[in-house]
Every structure is written in C-alpha cells, then in structure tokens.
Amino acid sequence: MDFTSFLTSLGTSFVIFLVLLIVFAFLSSKPGNNVVYYPNRILKGLDPLEGGSKSRNPFSWIKEAVSSSERDVVTMSGVDTAVYFVFLTTVLSILVLSGVILLPVLLPLSATDNAMKRQGAKAQTTSKGTFNQLDKLSMANITAKSPRLWGFLIACYWVSIVTFVLLWRAYKHVSWLRGEALKSPDVRPEQFAIVVRDIPNATQGQTKKEQVDAYFKAIYPEAFYRSMIVTDNKVVNKTWETLEGYKKKLARAEAVYEGSKTTAKPEGTKPTNKTGFLGLVGKKVDSIDYYKDKINEFVTKLESEQKVTLREKQQDAALVFFSSRVVAASAAQSLHAQMVDTWSVFDAPEPSQLILPNLKIKYFQRELRQYLVYVIVALTIFFYMIPITFVSAFSTLDNLVKYLPFIKPIVRIAALRTVLEAYLPQLALIIFLALLPKLLLFLSKFEGIPTESHAVRAASGKYFYFIVLNVFIGVTIGGTLFKAFNKIQKNPSLSEISSLLAESLPGNATFFLTYVALKFFVGYGLELSRIVPLIIYHLKRKYLCKTEAELKEAWRPGDLGYGTRVPGDMLIVTIVFCYSVIAPVIIPFGVLYFGLGWLVLRNQALKVYVPSYESYGRMWPHIHNRVLASLILYQITMFGYFGAQKFYYTPLVLPLPFLSLIFGFVCAKKFYPAFEHPALEVAANPLKEPPNMELIFRSFIPPSLSSEKIDDDRFEDALSSVSRTTPV
C-alpha cells in the first residue's frame, strides 16, 4: 500500500465516523428511537433523557460520559463492565506514557538517519518496498549496527516498565472493586450456595438427597440449610419451551383479534391458522381456541414431566445452601474428600449462569475433554492460518485482477482503485473473523465448564490466541509462509522464529495502521450510531410485533459481548506494542482507538447494554495475562529485530521476557486467589437484613421445574431437593 492509499483510507474512515456521529445525534434525539439508544435506562425505570440529554444537544452524551464515575458504571452495568473500563484506561495510560517518550525521541532518531537512501531497494520498508514518509519515521531508516539503536533499546525497557507499573495498579484496583462488591450488605442468592459435583453412589436404601444432606449436615451442622439435586431437564425443558411458545402465540392472536375490531365492525375477525407443518398445511382452526387447548394440554404434560424428572432423572450433582455466606465461601474453597474425583465443589454463580447439563460430567471426563478441546483449538488455529493467508493474499487488487479478469474495467478507475486498495484486505479479514466466536464458545462449553461467565472467559482466551497467531503473525509472515516453514524446520529455535517475525514486521506497518484506524473510526462509529439494531427494531415493530412482549424483545439489548470485544481489543494491544518501537507513529492510533473506545463504550454502558451476568470482575486475571502475553510477544519480536539490525548489544533485550514472566508470577500469587474464591474477610461483612433462605433456594429452581402447585405435598416430595429441616 502506498502513502496515498494510506491517507485515503485514513481520511475516508474519519469521514465515515463523522457521518455516523451526525446520524447518531439526529436519530437519538427522536423519541421513537429511545428504546434503541437508551434501553438500559428504560429497563431500570429511569428517564432516558435525564440530565444533559434533555436539551437535545447532539454532543451532550460526551459530557455525560466524561463526567460519569466508576460508581455510575457499577450501578448501571455492574462490576464486570467497570473492570472492562479499568482495562481500557490502563492500556490508554500505557500508550500515552510510552508515546510521551518514544515519539519525541525515536522519530527524530529515525528521520535524521539515511539507511533507506544507502540501502535502496534492499531496505526493509513499512510499505512493501515503497519508499515514503512513513519509512523515514521507523526503524527501517536506521543503519545496521548504528549507535542510534541504543535509543530504541532503552525505549523497549521504558514500555515494559510502564506496563508493569500500570498493570500492578490496575490489578490492585480491580481487587478492591471485587471486594467492595462481594462485601455488599445486599443479599445475593449465589453467596449462600455452593455447587457439588462428582457425588459418589449412595448406599443401598438411601436416596441421593438423603446422602447429600447427611454428608454436609455432618460437616456444617449449624449452617447447613437444604440441598437441591440437579436433574436432567432436557425433556422437561423442551415441554416448557413449547408451552411458553403457545402462550406467546395466544397473546399474539388475541392482540390481532383486538386490533381487528373497528367502529364499522365491532365484533372483529378472529385469527385462524393451519395445524400442519409451519402453519402452512393441515386443518384450518380458530387460533385463540386452538392455542388455549394446546396450553391446557401442555400444562398437564409439563406437570407430569416435572414429577418424572425430579424422581427419576437425578444426576450426580447438587446445590447445597447455607444460612451463612461465610460458611458458603469457606465450603466452596475446601477439600471435602480425600479423593479429588469425589465431592468436588465450587462457589455457586448467579442462578441463570449455571450450565446444568455440564454438572453431571465426571472429573476425569472433564479433564479428558479439556485436553481434547485444547488439541482441537490448536489444530483450528494452525489450519485456519491457511485460509487467513489465502484471504490476505487473494484480497489484494493485483491478485483479484489476475483471478477475476472481468473486474479490470472497475480497477482502472483511479479513485475506486485507491479506495479498494485501502480497504479490501482489512474488510476481508474482519468479515472472515466474524465467523469464529460461536465455534469457540461451543468448544468451551464442551469442556464441561459449569457456568456461562466461565465459558465466555475460556472462549475469549481461545479467541485471543487465535487472532494473535492467525491475524497478527499470520498476516505478518503470510507473504513468506512457505519460506518461513523451511527456515523454522531447519532451525526451530526461539531466535530464528523471533528473527523471522521481526524481518516480516516492517512490511506490514501501513496495513496494521489502516486496520487500527478502520477499527476505531468505522467500528466505533457503527457502535455509537446503532444503525443496524435501529433498522432491525423498526422492521420488527412494523411487520412482526403484535404484543408488548414481542415489542420489548425486539429492542432488548444484549451485553458488551466480552467474549469477542476483549480479544479484539487485545489484538490492537498486540499490534501497537509490537510496532511501538519499530514504527512509533502507530502509538497515536492506539491512543485514539482506546480513547475513543472509552468514550463511546462509556455511553453505551450507561445507556444501552444490559449485562447478561455478573462475575464480579473474574475476567480481569485473564485480561491481565493476555496483556502480559502481548508484551512478551513484543519483547521477543524486538529481540529478533535488533538481531536483524546486527546490533551487538541485542542480548540486553533478553531479560525483558523473563522479567515479564516473573511479574506475572508475582501478580498471580498475590492477587489471583481472591478472584478464584471470595475471601472470608469479605464474606464476613454484615448484611442489612437476615437472608430469606426459602427465596434463595427457590431462585435456583429452573423455570421448567417451577410450578404453580409448588406447595402441593406430592410435588414437594418429588422435588427431592427440599428438606423440611430448618437451620439451627
């Protein structure tokens, strides 16, 4: 990509962002769009236009976002979202403090050398062999063995030290945030329960519930409350979902019937439907009467399935409830049996987070599944590099013209060629990556992970390593892939790999500069304007929604999507780290990405997104480790690059990766245990009111097992999870 294409890409991205900003300012001021731009506030019963927004000032959202506090974020979107902003702030601070030194020091060192002129075409340029202004501002313009390389070596240490200091402060702050949330005086059901897996076979004549009750009552005689045996709910869930579907259809049919009543025809017209496949074939019936009959039929069927499930489909897992959250916290982190594969426990998540089918998976089966998934993910990462490299190579205009000759007339248009050359590879890469996250989430759940938040964290980790290895490294060495394989095969050493990566980096600087610019200008412009959700909402509202429930479902927002958002941000962290010294001009782009991201997502967190779960910052240790992994990759890359520059003092870079590993080890020992389990000193804080244990217990009953006849003695006995004892 030449310099003109780079500037075209950057300018076009900025113009698109300005257009989307104007679109957002206009559309968000329309009352009919409030449910799209302020759903979080609406769901909490707040005025969507409270504060500065009432003035309809198109820029009031910026003032509100900047003036909001961390407490505001916790109140509106939870601790997990606040922790995500700690990540954004930390990375932004790292880049700003790094740039303050690197830009005024390294740019003059590069610009005033003349390696590019002396070496000519042999020079490593930042633009695939095209000499331009960017080359003179990078290490590509530094003469091999030059004393100027000392400045770049010191810069490597500066970036590393700044990262260590700010990550330490961030870990400490997030630990405080988590502690403050967990010591809250409010009663949270998950703080009074633990999940038990790998329950051994009960003795003859003893039910599973009696076995669990006896075991935990013997260990915790004063605090044990009840146990709930986990059941296989596959059939009952299907019946319940069918019943709920008919209830929605009935509500819709009644709404259609009411809407058909007019002054000219007050009796209205009752809706009808066919009873066959998808309502397209079969007998034609009155919809309201038909759905009422179906509801009555499935209510009876559901009650029967509930009793069968609760009596005959019990699993080797249970929830155990305690009347004290200190005892629950202690039990969750205690070894209950001498054998690790029996009576294993962990602290209960929010009721909606439990992945019940995974609780029955035995200990060694979980271990086997985990290693199997690791192998599958490794193979996926490796073989995905082939199509990624293919897309990277095929999406260049020269190759497209070669394989698709009919587009030659289009490519000959100078303006269009410049735009395509600037955007095509980046867009192809972004679209290609959008297909992956669901596969990784499925694999994470297949491991046997028992909670939604844990599965998202695991999928996020897999996605991070995937995009770093396939996007960053894959794109970087994609052009010399087979040559790389030959080199690595002959000499599979760390120095050879780092040298190869370092040699390939400069040629992709403009690609990654454009990629980062596209991500923050176009990406955050679309995020703020919410064009796609707005169009979908209005289409559903006009053509599909007939009831208030359907309308609410049409505009209900999701969460921030940590599983893909965090790895995407981490890719930018990796790119900026690895180019921060080689081509320091990327640092302002990184600052813009995280600064603009903080501003836009602050608005979205306060007004739009609604958390799907709350894990009280459990994502942070994973974020911390990924930032460190990016830093280590940067340090290894710089070691290779200095070696490629034949700098005699290259070995002085070697301590940096080891310092990073030591730093990560110390942080894990000091901070991580409090993230793995709640600290007892935190759980010991007093509550503002005694917990209602019956409500806590019932909050964990799955919707498909709830019943209007819950107080019926026969159903209570069948539940097999209700003890009639009371806490001592």
State pLDDT tens for residues 564-580: 899 989 989 998 998 89
Could you read off the pLDDT of 585-618 as tens digits, one per residue?
889 999 999 999 999 999 999 999 999 999 999 9
Q: Which residue has the tokens 């994502």?
A: 619
Burial per residue of 304-331, b for 16 or more beta-carbon CB atoms within 10 angstroms, e otherwise: ebbbebbeebbbbbbbbbbbbbbbbbbb
- Report pLDDT digits (tens) over 442-456: 999 999 999 999 999
Res. 711: pLDDT tops 50: no
The tens digit of pLDDT for each residue in 237-283 reads: 999 999 999 999 999 898 888 888 877 788 888 888 888 777 777 78
Query: Is the pLDDT score of 412 beyond 50?
Result: yes
Element (DSSP H or E) covering residue 669: helix 655-671
Average pLDDT, the chain: 83
Give the pLDDT score at 342: 93
User: How many percent of the chain have pLDDT more than 70?
Assistant: 80
> pLDDT band at residue 220, thresholds of 50, 70 and 90?
very high
- Residue from 614, 619, 658 nearest 636 by CA: 658
Q: How far, CA to CA in Å, does 29 sit from each of 36, 369, 375, 530?
A: 11, 51, 51, 13
Say what the pTM is.
0.85
Is residue 21 over pLDDT 50?
yes
Is there a contact between 171 and 671 (Cβ–Cβ < 8 Å)? yes
- Indicate the pLDDT class of residue 419, thresholds 50, 70 and 90: low
Most distant CA atoms of the chain, gap in Å = 94
The per-residue pLDDT for 444 is 92
CB of 79 closer than 8 Å to CB of 104: no
pLDDT attached to residue 13: 83
List, as one string, the DSSP characters of 388-451: HHHHHHHTSHHHHHHH-GGGHHHHTSHHHHHHHHHHHHHHHHHHHHTTSHHHHHHHHHHTT--B
- Name the residue with higher pLDDT: 71 or 436: 71
Q: Read off the pLDDT of residues 152-179 as tens digits, 9 standing for 90 and up.
A: 999 999 999 999 999 999 999 999 999 9
Between the ranges 133-147, 322-336, 473-487, 533-547, where is the mean pLDDT highest?
A: 322-336
Quick one: pLDDT band at residue 718, thresholds 50, 70, 90? very low
- Higher-scoring residue by pLDDT: 485, 11: 11
**Other beta carbons within 10 Å of 710:** 13
What is the pLDDT, as a whole number, of residue 682? 92
CA distances from 355 to 196, 377, 447, 456, 563 (A): 13, 21, 12, 12, 17
- Summarize pLDDT for 134-147 with one digit per residue, the tens: 667 777 777 778 88
Least confident of 159-163, 389-393, 536-540, 653-657: 389-393
d(CA 436, CA 464): 11
- Model confidence pLDDT, tens digit, residues 346-397: 999 999 999 999 999 999 999 999 999 999 988 887 777 666 555 555 545 5
Give the pairing type, strands 193-197 and 344-347: antiparallel
The arithmetic mean of pLDDT across residues 303-318, rounded, is 92
Tokens 């403050």, located at residue: 180
Average pLDDT over residues 432-444: 81
pLDDT of 482 over the 60 cut = no
Nearest to 293 by CA among 255, 253, 261, 257: 253
Task: Give the pLDDT score at 683.
Answer: 92
Which comes out higher in pLDDT, residue 122 or 86? Answer: 86
**pLDDT at residue 128, rounded to an integer:** 45
Quote the pLDDT of residue 542.
87
Stretch 193-218: mean pLDDT, rounded?
Answer: 91
Residue 387: its pLDDT value, please?
A: 60
> By the 8 A CB rule, do 625 and 664 touch?
yes
Q: Lowest mean pLDDT of 289-298, 602-611, 710-719, name the range.
A: 710-719
For residue 317, which phi and psi values (nearest 5 degrees)?
-150, 155
pLDDT above 60 (res 55) = no
- pLDDT tens per residue, range 330-345: 999 999 999 989 999 9
Instruction: Give the pLDDT of residue 127.
Output: 46
Chain-centre distance for alpha carbon 105? 37
Reported confidence tier of residue 507, pLDDT bands at 50, 70, 90: low
Q: Please say if the pLDDT value at position 84 is more than 50.
A: yes
Instruction: Mark 653-664 as b/e (b = at least 16 C-beta within 10 Å).
Output: beebbebbeebb
Contact assessment for residue 586 and residue 580, using Cβ atoms and an 8 Å cutoff: yes
